[in-house]
Amino acid sequence: MADESGSNQERSTMRSVERAFDVVDLLSDSGRPLRLAEVARGTGLHIATAQRILKVLERRNYVAQDSAGYSVGAAALAAAHSFLVGNHLVLTATPVLQELAAALGLTASLSVRLGSARVLVARVEGSSPLRYQLPVGGRLPLHLGAGKVFLAYMDKPGRDEVLGDMEKVETAGGTAIPRDEYLSLLDEIAAQGYAVSRNERVVGAVSVSAPVRSREGHLLGAVQVAGREEDLSDDRLPEVTREVVNAGASIAARMR
């Protein structure tokens, strides 16, 4: 009886932890402060449960509250900083990104997968600045831009989970790619080892991305360079692609 009681208590504790992370994830993705009712609705929690969790997170500074509602607190930023200065992949990739940005004059970055999204964990600006900001720490879609590298190496169930019931993939440039054609594109990316993206997330932007794989073949992240259309013309693509693929291999080699 005691063992069963302890097991139930452990499950309850773990569920409370999961719910707290659900709240933090919701606030992280929202891009704006949320009211209590919005937090409860977004996490599927009873409003009283959501309020209790928010109060605990607020005491630990992972959540902040003001007149606009609840948002992520300063402790989350401190945790993110610890990741950036202590993560082996980020530390290994940064000098390679610096070399890549210097050689090509384009913005170089590294992304890792986070569920059905990717997160930019390192960025080095090139001499030709982008017209938009690549947000370190921001969640970006897997089905556009460098995210396609992650999708390309997933099996069918993994791809289906990310794409859901999406019948076509729509880009910022107005192109709508039918699902079957898009899946064929992913197979092509997996076969050739890199992805080229034009006007997918941002109009007027071009990027080339490649995988960073462990010795065992696990996908650790995706390295990418991005620039304006005038800075990354068709004539430059072979050179840029070669440099990006080599950068992915270099990061992987230094991880060993």
Residue 45: its pLDDT value, please?
Answer: 96
**E strands along 48-128, which residues?**
63-66, 69-72, 107-114, 117-124
In the chain, the percentage of residues whose pLDDT exceeds 70 is 97
Mean pLDDT of the chain: 92
Q: Name which of 143, 148, 113 is nearest 219 in CA terms.
A: 113
Which tens digits make up the pLDDT trace of 134-191? 778 888 999 999 999 999 999 999 999 999 999 999 999 999 999 999 999 999 999 9
Reading the block at residue 216, the tokens are 């065992």
Q: What is the rounded distance in angstroms from the CA atom of residue 129 to the CA atom of residue 228?
A: 8
Task: Write down the pLDDT at residue 33.
Answer: 96
Confidence of residue 5 (pLDDT cuts 50, 70, 90): low
Contacts of 106 (CB under 8 A, 6+ apart): 100, 126, 128, 225, 226, 227, 231, 232, 240
Q: What is the rounded distance in angstroms from the CA atom of residue 83 to the CA atom of residue 76?
A: 11
Q: Residue 4: what pLDDT?
A: 61
Q: Which residues contact 225 (CB under 8 A, 6 or more apart)?
A: 100, 101, 104, 106, 107, 108, 109, 126, 207, 208, 209, 232, 240, 243, 244
What was the pLDDT predicted at 3?
A: 59
CA atoms 224, 228, 231, 235: torsion sign: positive
pLDDT tens-digit profile of 51-63?
Answer: 999 999 999 999 9
Burial (0-12, 13-18, 19+ Cβ within 10 Å), 78: exposed
> Does the pLDDT at position 213 exceed 80?
yes
Mean pLDDT for the stretch of residues 231-238: 91
pLDDT higher than threshold 90 for residue 122: yes
